[in-house]
Amino acid sequence: MPELLKGGNTTVGAAPLTAELRSAGDPVDLSALLVGADGRVRSDADLVFYNQPTAESGAVRHLAADAGAPERITVDPGALPADVDRVVLVASCDPDDLSRTFRTIADVEVRGVQDGADPVVFRQPPLVDGERAVLLVELYRRGDGWKLRAIGQGYAEGLAGLATDFGIDVSEQPEASAMTPPAPTPTSLVKPPLGKVSLDKGGQVAISLDKQDRELVVTVTLEWDGGSDQRRRRGADLDLYALFVPASKAQRGGAEAPGTIVKTGLAKKMPEKGGKGDKGPEADVIYYKNLGSLKQAPYIQLDGDSKVPGRETVRIVRPDQQGYVLLCAYSALSNGFGSFKSFGAQVVVDDGRGSNVTVPLFENTKTRYWVAIALVDFTSADGAAIHHIEAYSGRMTERRPVLHPDGTIEMNAGPVEFKGRD
């Protein structure tokens, strides 16, 4: 695979080119600027990013990361008008969090992929001086053809400062008086809500949120319909458990990423039958015997115990106090041995601001009493990252899962507590 060093360039073909961004550590965003021969954009429409995903009728297009590929920008050189001299690709930290810099981001690379050609890669040298954005590469005209050049220039001011230097208006506009016509609306760098999203198996997505927002309420709902008339008649009693690690105890940067299923042998150290280790808020779990509170720690509360098909909802406030929250479902013995999927079980996470994420189940695993469905990671730089987990307890095992301080998950390791019919 050809590799460009900083300042190096190579000729590329006229076919559409896809630039893929990869990195490790805190997440970064990819954007593109369509620039004229004078080094400036023609208008604010020449910034392509998450809030403005296309330019020139799709000649330049932003594609969000998904289960199959990282975040990327596609460019069709042949469809660009003559007054676009080059397309500059930019990586930037979250504009909503001014504390984030490239010091906490490693292995930044952009890979240019074209059909019929070997990929071209540029690995960004480390940035350690407070840079919050970086010009990665540019696709530029050379005669009748196109070339790709590695730049690697950092910007301390982030995407807003970089875009301003190229002529994009991202500044706050003063309030217009009655005698003054309103000024054009500046380009907004605030990340939009996700809308309705359903996660693929093993997938994840991030909800952008302000960790200091005292009005924010994140609702997490376990929904189930019983799956069949026979099961509904029997009650189909599922229970939502919210295992949590508060922000004061949450750990980052461990050997395993948050949401990883680990085996550490802690089951031998846990109580056999619930008892003391399963009572009260010190157990770090919200469920039908410990409903929690929104007025004080843990700032997580369950709305009650539903014993018929329907829903149970946990509300989460004070995101600055949250680390990790693992959403699990327990199937009472009286339900029989049907799978959680056959009960129609799923988790829905909603921030009340336009982001609604469904975490479904895909496996028909039977004779299991526990399933860890979703992890909400409030330590994520993007706000709150929601991971699809779908990990089941061992066959006929009553021990509940354990959530560790680093966000890893251990099945079959928690206390046992049987729930009978009332």
pLDDT digits (tens, 9 = 90+) for 351-392: 998 999 999 999 998 888 899 999 999 988 668 989 999 999
pLDDT the model gives residue 383: 82
Average pLDDT, the chain: 85
Residues 6+ apart with CB under 8 A from 99: none
Query: Contact 170/27 with Cβ under 8 angstroms?
Result: no
* pLDDT in the model for residue 192: 75
pLDDT over 90 percentage in the chain: 57
As a dihedral over the C-alpha atoms of residue 299, residue 376, residue 221, residue 298, rounded to 10 degrees, the angle is -10
Confidence (pLDDT) at 390 = 96
Residue 38 has pLDDT above 90, yes or no: yes
Q: Is the pLDDT of residue 21 over 60?
A: yes
Q: What tokens appear for 267 in the block?
A: 């089951």
Cα-flanking dihedrals φ and ψ of residue 264, to 5°? -125, 0
Q: Residue 210: pLDDT band by 50, 70, 90 thresholds?
A: confident
pLDDT score of 169 = 85
Per-residue confidence band for 257, with pLDDT thresholds at 50, 70 and 90 = confident
Decide if pLDDT at 322 tops 80: yes
- Give the pLDDT confidence score for residue 396 in this predicted structure: 77
pLDDT band with cut points at 50, 70 and 90 for residue 98? confident
Give the C-alpha separation, 210 to 384, whole Å: 10
Task: Identify the band that residue 276 occupies on the pLDDT scale cut at 50, 70 and 90.
Answer: very low
What is the rounded average pLDDT of the residues 213-234?
Answer: 81
pLDDT in tens, 49-68: 988 899 999 999 999 887 66
**Do 386 and 349 meet the contact criterion of CB atoms below 8 Å apart?**
yes
14's CB contacts (< 8 A; 6+ apart) are 77, 78, 145, 146
Q: What is the DSSP letter of 261?
A: B
**What is the per-residue pLDDT for 279?**
40
Given this model, what pLDDT does residue 20 score?
96
CA distance 380 to 376: 9
Q: How confident is the model at residue 333 (pLDDT cuts 50, 70, 90)?
A: low
Say what the pLDDT of residue 185 is. Answer: 66
397 SS3 class: coil
> Which tokens sit at 301?
């509360």
Q: What is the model's pLDDT at position 225?
A: 83
Single out the residue of 168, 201, 223, 220 nearest to residue 67, CA to CA.
201
pLDDT in tens, 109-161: 999 999 988 999 999 999 989 999 999 999 999 998 999 999 999 999 888 88
CB 127 within 8 A of CB 136: no
pTM: 0.64
